Amino acid sequence: MTTLIFRNTIIETISRKNQIWITSAELAKALQYATSNAVTMLYKQNSDEFSVGMSEIVESTLSANLKARIRIFSLRGVVLT
């Protein structure tokens, strides 16, 4: 895991397909949005501007038996948000 800093905010990243990816929650935190859902809504409104490989939905394990589907963005995808 790589750690990035944006405007004094520490951003935890995910390594996937030999690239750095950022979750919508981490991106919302860095951009100081009220909720991580704001990033997802922004993506949905402008999804036609994103090419394949800029954003994906992945399954994340939150605990031993709890999984969630989360949106992640490549660094190119982050620039569009």
Q: What is the CATH number of the domain that holds 48?
A: 3.10.260
Query: What is the extent of the structural domain holding 26?
Result: 3-80
According to the model, what pLDDT value does residue 60 have? 82
For residue 54, give every residue at least 6 positions away whose Cβ sits within 8 Å of its Cβ, in sequence order, or none. 73, 74, 76, 77, 80
pTM: 0.84
- Give the mean pLDDT of 27-55: 91
According to the model, what pLDDT value does residue 26 have? 93
Angle at 68 between CA 26 and CA 56, to 5 degrees: 60
Total domains present in the chain: 1
**Residue 45: band (very low, low, confident or very high) from pLDDT cuts 50, 70, 90:** very high
Question: For a pLDDT cut of 90, what percent of the chain falls above it?
Answer: 48
- Give the mean pLDDT of 52-67: 85
